[in-house]
Amino acid sequence: MPEITLLQALSQGLWAEMERDERVVLLGEDIGHAGGVFVLTKGFQEHFGEDRVIDTPLSEGGIIGTSIGLALNGLRPVPEIQFVDFIYPAFDLIVNEMAKMRYRTGGQYSVPMVVRSPYGGGIRGGHYHSQSPEAYFAHTAGLKVVIPSNPYDAKGLLISSIRDPDPVIFLEPKKIYRAVRGEVPEEPYMVPLGEAKVTREGEDLTLIGYGTMLHVCMEAAEAVEKEGVSCEVIDLRTIMPFDLDTILGSVRKTGRLVIVHEAPKTCGFGAEIAAQVSERALLSLEAPIIRVTGFDTPFPYSLEDVYLPDAASVVRAIHQSMNF
């Protein structure tokens, strides 16, 4: 199998679904001739035509509103928001229309569309190009929220999202677009939504991450292994619905839990995981649940490395848990 980047895997997945299903259409700012900011859709418009790869005005509300209309009329749009920080002008359409359509029509209509967007820090983008708003969307009934951490999962999760009958928010960790490589089959395949993956077996402590932070967790686990601490690492993959069974099984085995994400701590998705574990596996815990996260501040430019969790901060949390 060829070894490719996460960005190339996403491009492969999009291309495969457009070849397979003529109902799949792409919309976004500069995604046509330019191929988008990260050149993910380079060559798509030339191959599939301007009717299926649509360069839009700089209007996120227009992009999402148009996509909802297309989905309601039988197509499967995949709109791109250039950076997730720009998604907020379309927030009303996403949470009040896109997410609610199946419910408000008693199942007569669905909105099968995937909103793709780069998210997170790590590229010195400042506070308008580095946000991690996954918890906003996880809080909205009717939306699935997906965040891949590696090329294989990225392609399979994107294909599953496009084939899903309901709307999906698909957030892509841009820091690792080209920094992470892996073997990916050339043929289409699906990775099920709602299933976490144990990426490293362990006995002493459970680490949970997703996106870029999964790699931070793996680095921390490797560091403390030299000290005799065995960490089990879980890649959440799907934020909503999330795989609580896999989490509970791991925590009941290890007795300790550290959750890592780059979004701010207060009301971040780690809080929901911590609450669910506390409700269902409290007596299995040997130490308090610890969250290693971004700060409750706007995302900084010059202090990006201080803001983002790194392996050292996760190692400190592991030591705190083990020494409790």
Residue 159 is predicted with a pLDDT of 98
Q: What torsion, rounded to 10 degrees, do the Cα atoms 118, 51, 185, 178 define? A: -30
- Cβ 296 vs Cβ 266: under 8 Å: yes
77-93 pLDDT per residue, tens: 999 999 999 999 999 99
Q: Quick one: fold of 3-183?
A: Rossmann fold (3.40.50)
Query: Which residues, 6 or more positions from 68, have their beta carbon under 8 angstroms from its beta carbon?
Result: 93, 97, 98, 101, 111, 113
247-262 pLDDT per residue, tens: 999 999 999 999 999 9
Nearest to 265 by CA among 220, 309, 210: 309
Residue 18 is predicted with a pLDDT of 98
**CA 247 to chain centroid:** 17
Beta bridge partners of 197: 235
Residue 2 is predicted with a pLDDT of 85
Catalytic annotation, pick one of 47, 127, 129, 261: 129
Residues in the chain: 324
Residue 1 is predicted with a pLDDT of 81
**Domain at 197-322: CATH code:** 3.40.50.920
- Cβ 277 vs Cβ 251: under 8 Å: yes
- The verdict on whether 139 is a catalytic residue reads no
Residue 186 is predicted with a pLDDT of 95
Low-confidence residues of the chain, pLDDT below 50? none
33-67 pLDDT per residue, tens: 999 999 999 999 999 999 999 999 999 999 999 99
Query: Which residues, 6 or more positions from 47, have their beta carbon under 8 angstroms from its beta carbon?
Result: none
Q: What torsion, rounded to 10 degrees, do the Cα atoms 74, 135, 117, 156 define? A: -70
Residue 293 is predicted with a pLDDT of 98
Nearest to 271 by CA among 292, 252, 297, 249: 292
Q: What is the DSSP string of 204-267?
A: SEEEEE-THHHHHHHHHHHHHHTTT--EEEEE--EEES--HHHHHHHHHHHS-EEEEEEEESTT
pTM for this predicted structure: 0.97
Report domain extents, the chain: 3-183, 197-322
Equal CATH topology for 3-183 and 197-322: yes
